[in-house]
Amino acid sequence: MLLILFFLPFALLGAPTNPKALNKILVEENPETPEKRKKIRKIIDTAFENRIPRVQGRQGVAPPLKLAVLNYGPKNNQTRKFEELNSEINGILTFNPPLQLIKTSEYTFESDIMLNENQANNLAKSIENGNYRAKRQAIVDTTLFWNTSVPIYYQFDSKLSATNIANVRKAIKFWNDNSCLNFKEDSNAKNRLFMSSAGGCWSYVGKQVDMPYQMVSVGPSCDTLGTATHELMHAIGFWHQQSRSDRDDYVYVDFSNIIPSQAYNFQKMPLDQAQLLNLPYDYGSVMQYYPYAFALDSSKYTILAKQNGFQNSMGQREAPAFSDLIGVNKLYNCSSTQSIVSFQSISIEATSTWQTFNAKAGDPNSYTSSSDNSTNCFWHIKAPVGQKVEFKMTTAPMSAICMQECPWQSIEINLGRFDLYGMITCCDTFLNQVFTSEQNTIALRGIIRYNQLNYSIQYRSVPTQGTATSPVCVSR
Ligand SMILES: *[C@@H]1O[C@H](CO)[C@@H](O)[C@H](O)[C@H]1NC(C)=O
Ligand SMILES: *[C@@H]1O[C@H](CO)[C@@H](O)[C@H](O)[C@H]1NC(C)=O
Ligand SMILES: *[C@@H]1O[C@H](CO)[C@@H](O)[C@H](O)[C@H]1NC(C)=O
Ligand SMILES: *[C@@H]1O[C@H](CO)[C@@H](O)[C@H](O)[C@H]1NC(C)=O
Ligand SMILES: *[C@@H]1O[C@H](CO)[C@@H](O)[C@H](O)[C@H]1NC(C)=O
Ligand SMILES: [Zn+2]
């Protein structure tokens, strides 16, 4: 029995085949060693230790009561596995005697980011300077940029399963189709991405010039499109959404419910290492953290959406949000977004009296896995130009599985910011609440992998009150 337990990690991860690998971690021939990883860990830890009084000062402040009321998250306690939250994943083998199998999170920053030494030093400096007003979303340092004139080469580790490979290919296709980046398979090219499985889901941020090949860990626990595209977005050069300088305007970070030693994962980072690309905060960005991340009490949120209705959009891993595509295309100066997927939608005209329709989609007898493609259906409810739509849901589907991010069946409601992800629900959390469109259209999207979506919806048009706000337009 003992023997089985001892060898289990190897059975899961694959034993090293080359003795040269014994001195290296992650990737052979890479300048990565356990010592280097420990050094980087220490740079960050020391910086935060020096700032502990500040961090502690933020402990114990519970969110304002009204946020708890505003937050329409799932009503039961079902959670789903959050792939990039590597805190429990034992993954990276170090081969320094004695043999160690260590937690991936001991080497990563914000759970799934492998910082390089330069990035760690820069972050440490700004942490010690108390630079909390900084902005962060995408890389600034040009040595971290990929060159769009040449492909971004990648290789699959032979230990990845066919299912994993198919999922990563889907994610690569997504970025090839939706940006001017050109990922291309090549097992010999310099600076290639090495798609592998090394203890959970993680990546470096941007191109690592000193690495012959850089690891992107996208193994068995990461095989949804959302997670694979998230890790690739780190490799392309993006940080997490909630690290943005303006995040406090959009989310409340509840430090009273964050494991104290993990509080550094919620700091804001410096402007000289990042840019916001003039993009608005998007709760549904595929780079937004799961709202229970690093919780002391895992039945309570650590991140609360300040905007009514968006709690459940955070951590969605269905696919990158439209704003994520725009971000990648802006960072790389793509001349235009390569393909904007156009959907067929059902158009519904609102009149001044309440009308009802059933937003129904999917097959009551169907079931697919959470990593399979979902069925998507679109409805647009339109009021005459100059008026607005009032909208409420009156019944929720009996078959819904009520859980965070709604991976099985959900409805996305967009009141008019079509450049951003909408509110999502899979429960009765929105029932009988009246929402009003920003302009004259409300867009609904049904996302179904299980059973049939069936929400009863009531809508009507109402005159615009007061002075009309100017339409929000975000350049593409
Ligand atoms: C969810 O968990 C909380 C705290 O443990 C409990 O009070 C509540 O009743 C649970 N809700 C459901 C629907 O099980
Ligand atoms: C990008 O690649 C092209 C083609 O190989 C090369 O001419 C150019 O100098 C590269 N740009 C940078 C910034 O390295
Ligand atoms: C995009 O253009 C800006 C402004 O000209 C430039 O500073 C930046 O380096 C460019 N980005 C890339 C990835 O080439
Ligand atoms: C899922 O979507 C991908 C990319 O759009 C497509 O190539 C693939 O055929 C789809 N799979 C199924 C089972 O429909
Ligand atoms: C959809 O929901 C409505 C309202 O609850 C109900 O009358 C109808 O039978 C449902 N349809 C299906 C196919 O379940
Ligand atoms: Zn991440």
pLDDT tens sequence across 168-203: 999 999 999 999 999 999 999 999 999 998 888 999
Banded pLDDT at 60 (limits 50, 70, 90): low
Ligand 3 contact via 141 beta carbon (within 6 Å): no
Segments making up each domain of the chain, as ranges? 1-341, 346-463
> Which atom of ligand 3 is closest in space to residue 145's alpha carbon?
13
Banded pLDDT at 339 (limits 50, 70, 90): low
Measured CA to CA in angstroms, residue 269 lies from 18, 213, 278, 292 at distances of: 39, 27, 17, 21
- Least confident segment among 92-96, 102-106, 355-359, 390-394: 92-96
As a whole number, the mean pLDDT across the chain is: 82
- Tokens 């890479």, residue located: 30
> Which atom of ligand 1 is closest in space to residue 77's alpha carbon?
1
What pLDDT is attached to residue 29?
Answer: 58
Q: How far is the CA of 389 from the centre of ligand 6 (A)?
A: 37
| 231 part of the active site | yes
The residue-averaged pLDDT of 194-222 equals 90
Ligand 3 contact via 95 beta carbon (within 6 Å): no
Which ligand minimizes its atom distance to the CA of 395? 5
What pLDDT is attached to residue 274?
Answer: 58
Q: Give residue 83's identity as a one-letter amino acid code.
A: E
pLDDT at 98 over 80: no
Instruction: List pLDDT tens digits, range 397-449.
Output: 877 778 888 888 899 999 999 999 999 999 888 999 999 999 999 999 999 98
Side-chain-facing half-sphere of 46: CA atoms under 13 Å: 10
pLDDT at 39 over 50: yes
Instruction: List pLDDT tens digits, range 101-119.
Output: 677 888 888 889 999 999 9
Residues contacting residue 212 through CB under 8 Å, at least 6 positions apart: 29, 30, 190, 191
- Of all protein residues, the one whose alpha carbon is nearest to atom 7 of ligand 2 is 149
Pocket test for ligand 5, best of 357, 358, 453, 457 (most atoms within 8 A of CB): 358
364 or 6: which leads in pLDDT: 364
Which position among 83, 231, 390, 412 bears the catalytic label?
231
Ligand 4 pocket (Cβ < 6 Å) reads: 170, 373
So what's the architecture of 346-463 in CATH? Sandwich (2.60)
The residue-averaged pLDDT of 337-366 equals 83
Which ligand minimizes its atom distance to the CA of 399? 5
Q: How far is the CA of 403 from the centre of ligand 1 (A)?
A: 13
d(C-alpha 441, C-alpha 443), whole Å: 6
What pLDDT is attached to residue 14?
Answer: 37
> Which atom of ligand 5 is closest in space to residue 455's alpha carbon?
2
> Which atom of ligand 2 is closest in space to residue 150's alpha carbon?
2
Q: Tell which residue, 465, 424, 462, 421, has the closest CA to residue 440.
A: 462
Longest Cα–Cα distance in the chain: 75
Torsion of CA 409, 396, 376, 226, to 10 degrees: -40
Residues contacting residue 18 through CB under 8 Å, at least 6 positions apart: 28
What pLDDT is attached to residue 175?
Answer: 96
Banded pLDDT at 6 (limits 50, 70, 90): very low
Annotation-wise, does 380 bind a ligand? no
Q: How far is the CA of 301 from the centre of ligand 1 (A)?
A: 13
What pLDDT is attached to residue 7?
Answer: 31
Homologous superfamily, domain 1-341: Collagenase (Catalytic Domain) (3.40.390.10)
Same topology between domain 1-341 and domain 346-463: no
pTM above 0.85, yes or no: yes
What pLDDT is attached to residue 387?
Answer: 96
d(C-alpha 258, C-alpha 266), whole Å: 9
Q: How far is the CA of 265 from the centre of ligand 2 (A)?
A: 35
